[in-house]
Structure 1
C-alpha cells in the first residue's frame, strides 16, 4: 500500500489502545472527566435549586415580618386612640360619654383583632426563617461537593498531561469525597 493512500476506517487500528488491547490512561482519564463533569452539573443544579428555595423562604419571612410590624404599628395607633378616649371620658361631661364608650369598645375590639393577626404573622415569619435555615445546610454541603468535583477534574487534567497514574487515584479520592458530601447534603 502506498503511504499516501488512506486506509478505510474499518481497517484503521483503534488509536489509544495499548499493544495488549487495553484502554490507555488517557482514555480512562477522558471517561472519568466526563463522568465528573456530569456529576458536577447535577450538583450545581441541585445547589442552585436549594439556594433559590432558601432565598424564597427568607424573602417570605421578611415580608411576613414587615407586615406584622405594620400591624403592630397600627395596634399602637389604635391603643393611643383608646387612651385618648379614656381620657376624654374622664374630662367630658356625663352626657357626652356614651359616644366615647362606643368608640372605646370599637378600639378594644380592633386591638384584639390586630394583635391576633400580628402574632400569626410573627409565627409564620419564624417558620419561614426556620425553613430557610434548614435549606441553607444542604446548600453548603452541595457547594463543598462541587468544589471537590472541580478539584478532581483539575487533577485529572494534570494526570493526562503528566501520565502519572497516582494522580488518577488522587482525583478518584477527591471525587469520592464529593460523593460523600453530596449524599450528606440530603441524608444527614
Structure 2
C-alpha cells in the first residue's frame, strides 16, 4: 500500500469529509493505485446498500443492484473528474442502476424485452474513446468468460438476457434459491476480477 493510500485510509486528523476523501481515493485509483480503489469500493458498499435499500422494496434484489452499481463505477471510472464532487457522480450512477432494475422488473411483468444498460454519460465530461470503451468491454467479457459454466450461464440469462429468477429456473432446471446464490457468487467473482485488472 502506498504512503498516499495509507494517508487516505487514516484520514487527515478528521479534517477530510467523506466527499473529499472519496474524491482523493478515486483520483488515486484513476492513477492506478489498486489499494486506493479497494478502500474506496469497501467504503462505498454500506452507503450504496443503504441508498438502494431506501428506494427498492424487494430486499432480495438489493445486493444485485449494488453489484450493478459497482460494475458501472468500474466501467466508467476514468470519466470521473476529480475537480467535481464525487457523491453526486456516484448517486447519479446509483439512480440509473435502480431505474434500470425497475424497468427490467416492469418489462418482465408486462412480457416486454429489456434493453441492455446504456453507457454512462455525464454533462461536461469527455467521452471515452472507442479504444477505452472496447478495453472496458473486453475486461467485462474476460471476467465473464473466466466464470465457471454454471455461473456464466446464470449471468447471461439474468443479467444479459434479463430473465427473471423464475424464468431462468425453468430454463436451467435449478431452483430459484440456487440461482440467487450462483448469481451472487458470479457477481462477486467478476467484481474481484475487474478490480484485479486495474
Please give the TM-score of this superposition, normalised by the length of structure 1: 0.30
The structure richer in helix per residue is 1
Higher relative contact order (CA 8 A, sep 6+): 1
Larger Rg: 1
TM-score (norm 2): 0.28
